[in-house]
Homo-oligomer: A and B are copies of this chain.
Amino acid sequence: MIPDMSRTPLHPTREQIELPMVLDCLSDPIRLAIVYQLAQQERVSSELRCGDFSGLGAKSNLAYHFAKLRECGLTQTRIVGTSRMTRLRREDLDARFPGLLDAVINSAARDADRLQLVPECDVAGVD
């Protein structure tokens, strides 16, 4: 049987990633929280499931924000069974906009309270 390629999420190439779209994507509190959590996760494994962010809103709204993150080039999504594993496109972003992602994440970390971000220890999850 022919695999359903229409279910493979579309990602921009590295060169197609645009600065204004990335900044706009990061300016939404929910998407910033997702990116922040993905950045914390980078230390442990590199990927998280969409479902790991259910604290941030309704399912369909998260799907909307994950699509935006993917379409602007901030994240890469891979289908595993019924789940989607998402990770930051750190290499592409660092190549395209050196220092930007780290500056945003560090700035977010400093304002974690104000931005209502999850504390680091909660991110890695439970076994």
Contacts and interface: CB of A to CB of B under 8 A. Distances in A.
Interface residues of A, number: 26
Interface in A10-24: 18-21, 23-24
Interface of A: 18-21, 23-24, 26-29, 32, 96-100, 102-104, 106-108, 110-111, 114-115
B20 A115 contact: yes
Nearest to A32: B20
B98 A107 contact: yes
Contacts of A107: 19, 96-98, 100
A104 to B, nearest CB: 7
Contact of A32 (B19, B99, B108): B19
